[in-house]
């Protein structure tokens, strides 16, 4: 699922609700479990340096100027405020690929198309 997340980031920014959608492939149906999985996936790509968190102003992605740990805490706290509802796109976070994440995402797309 993390590879799918990175492949989705090739053409556009990714937001928390899209990550939640990807978790549907896990077979989980409980909204709380899916939210936990989605936050874990986001934490993994951030901690691995494959994506960065930030805001989207309609024109460009602006990376948050905080530590990775602070990014993960902010995402978790903001998402928990939504309870079992799926946040509206971009209300919690916008994720952008780093060069390393783009490399992985492109490799996934190449593998899947061939």
Give pLDDT tens digits for 32-84. Answer: 999 999 999 999 999 999 999 999 998 999 999 999 999 999 999 999 999 88
Count of domains observed in the chain? 1
pTM, whole model, 2 decimals? Answer: 0.95
**For a pLDDT cut of 70, what percent of the chain falls above it?**
100
Average pLDDT over residues 101-106: 98
| Cα–Cα distance measured from residue 110 to residue 101, given in angstroms and rounded to the nearest whole number | 14
Host domain of residue 36:
2-113
């Amino acid at each position: 699922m993390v590879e799918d997340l990175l492949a989705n980031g090739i053409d556009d920014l990714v937001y928390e609700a899209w990550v939640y959608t990807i978790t549907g492939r896990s077979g989980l149906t409980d909204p709380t479990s899916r939210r936990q999985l989605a936050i874990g996936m986001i934490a993994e790509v951030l901690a691995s340096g494959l994506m960065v968190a930030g805001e989207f102003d309609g024109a460009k992605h602006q990376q948050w100027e905080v530590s990775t740990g602070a990014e993960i805490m902010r995402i978790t706290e903001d998402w928990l405020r939504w309870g079992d509802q799926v946040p509206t796109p971009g209300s919690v976070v916008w994720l952008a690929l780093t060069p390393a994440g783009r490399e992985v995402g492109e490799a996934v797309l190449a593998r899947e198309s061939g």
